[in-house]
Amino acid sequence: MELKDLTPLEASLGYTFKDQSILIQALTHRSYLNEHPDFPYPHNERLEFLGDAVLELIVTEHLYRTYANPEGELTNWRAALVNAKTLAGISNQLGFEDYLLMSKGEAKDANSKARMYILANAIEAIIGAIYLDGGTEGAKGFIDKHILSHLEFILKNELYVDPKSKFQETAQDLLGVTPTYKVLEEKGPDHAKEFTVGVYLEKTLVAVGQGTSKQEAQVAAAQAGIEAKGWQVRPEKS
């Protein structure tokens, strides 16, 4: 079985592996082994476990040493930096999705929530691989360049505040109105429900969101509402 040349990926990562087999393991999803039982490398879940801990420690130390803010605020900032959505976005920027080894079924399911988690987990697995191959300094260099570099944007745009809280606080501050949410559609069997929720300011529908739970759909609607109102950066009161 011929694997892709990983040199362009290493260039994108900004790290060259001494042992490239660790990188191959980091790129191997469990589903791939189901279709290729003779593949010589294990899947990436153990590396993901390691990388998750390394990522949290390095980000936590950076926040602790750089900012004098209370623990609660630092916790929210860290969560915004290392959540699945942020990490999946970083993986797309680094362009390593084409290198992931997945089953044919997983490979086809490009736009699902499951794919987002596969990409996020692969970032953590790569961090674990870099840590094993290049130690703390190698991992820190990757995290500084590719993850902590997003912190300024997250703080400027208050992405550490969950969308429902941000939408409500901004609406109350600017308009004196508390948003309300209404389920507009509910479809699918009990084990696979999909909800469509609208967020309203008084009687005006601002935006809608979908999710597999009412809460998830409300969060999606709130995020869409923030974007619809142009509140990514909170405007000044007039």
Hey, where are the domains in the chain? 7-156, 163-229
Query: Which residues are marked as active site?
Result: 52, 124
Instruction: State yes or no: 48 annotated in a binding site.
Output: yes
DSSP assignment of the chain, as one string? Answer: -PPPP-HHHHHHHT---SSHHHHHHHTB-HHHHHH-TT-SS--SHHHHHHHHHHHHHHHHHHHHHH----HHHHHHHHHHHHSHHHHHHHHHHHT-GGG-B--HHHHH-TTSHHHHHHHHHHHHHHHHHHHHHHHHHHHHHHHHHHTGGGHHHHHHTTTTS-HHHHHHHHHHHHHS---EEEEEEEES-GGG-EEEEEEEETTEEEEEEEESSHHHHHHHHHHHHHHHHT-SSPPPP-
pLDDT tens readout for residues 184-212: 999 988 878 899 999 999 999 999 999 88
- For domain 163-229, give the fold: Double Stranded RNA Binding Domain (3.30.160)
34 is in an annotated binding site: no
> How confident is the model over 209-235, as a mean pLDDT?
88
Q: Which CATH architecture has domain 7-156?
A: Orthogonal Bundle (1.10)
Identify the pLDDT of residue 90.
94
Do 7-156 and 163-229 agree at the fold level? Answer: no
